[in-house]
A and B are shown apart, each in its own frame.
Chain A
Amino acid sequence: MASAIEQVDLGLRRESSHSLTAIREFGKRNPIGAGAGLFCVALVILAAIGPYVAPYPADLTALPRLHSPSLEYPFGTDNLFRDMFSRILVGTRNSIGIAFGSVAFATSLGLLFGLTSGYFGGWWDMVVGRIVDVSLAFPNLVFLIFFLTIFEPTYLSVSIALGINMLPAIIRVVRGSTIGVRHQQYIEAASVVGASAVRIMVRHVLPNIAAPVIVIASIQIGYAILVEAALSFLGLSVSTAQNPSWGRMLQDTRQYWQSAWWTAIVPGLAISSAVLAFNLFGDALRDALDPRLRGSR
Chain B
Amino acid sequence: MAPYILKRLLASIPALLLVTILIFGAVRVIPGDVCRLVLQSPDADIDPQTCNAIRANLGLSKPVVEQYFDWVGGVLTGDFGRSLISQRDVFSEIKERMYVTLELAILSSSFAIVSGLLIGIYSALKQDRPADHVLRILSIGWLSMPNFWVATLLITFPALWWGYRAPLQYRHFWEEPLVNLEQLMLPAIAIGLSMSATLARLTRSSMLEVMRQDYVRTARAKGLSSQTVVLHHALKNAMLPVITLLGLQIGFLLGGTVILETIFGLPGLGTLLLTSVQLKDYTQVQGLVLFFAIAVLMINIAVDLSYAIFDPRVRFG
Using a CB–CB distance below 8 Å, which chain A residues touch chain B? 130-131, 133-134, 136-143, 145-147, 149-150, 222, 226, 229-230, 233-234, 247, 250, 254, 257-258, 261, 264, 268, 271-273, 275-276, 279-280, 283, 295-297
Contacts and interface: CB of A to CB of B under 8 A. Distances in A.
Contacts of B18: 130-131, 134
Contacts of B201: 297
Given A141-B258, A258-B159, A150 B26 contact: yes
Contact of B289 (A134, A142, A254, A276): A142
Q: Is the interface of B mostly helix, strand, loop or mixed?
A: helix
Contacts of A283: 140
B30 interface: yes
Interface stretch (B76-84, B173-181, B224-232, B273-281): B273-281
Contact of A279 (B14, B144, B159, B259): B144
B251 A140 contact: yes
**Interface-centre pick from B254, B258, B296 (highest chain A CB count, 10 A):** B258
B292 A271 contact: no
Contacts, number: 127
Interface of B: 14-15, 18-19, 22-23, 26-27, 29-30, 140-141, 143-149, 152-153, 156, 159-160, 198, 201-202, 205, 208, 248, 250-256, 258-259, 262, 273-274, 277, 280, 285, 288-289, 292-293, 296-297
B259 A142 contact: no
Contacts of B15: 130, 133-134, 137
Nearest to A145: B277
Given A140-B255, A145-B274, A254-B152, A271 B146 contact: yes
A268 B153 contact: yes
B205 A296 contact: yes
A149 B144 contact: no
A137 B19 contact: yes
Contacts of A143: 289
5 contacts: A137-B15, A138-B296, A141-B256, A150-B26, A258-B160
Contacts of A234: 259, 262, 274
Contacts of B205: 295-296
Nearest to B204: A295
A141 B296 CA distance: 13
Given A130-B18, A137-B293, A268-B153, A149 B259 contact: no
A247 B252 CA distance: 18
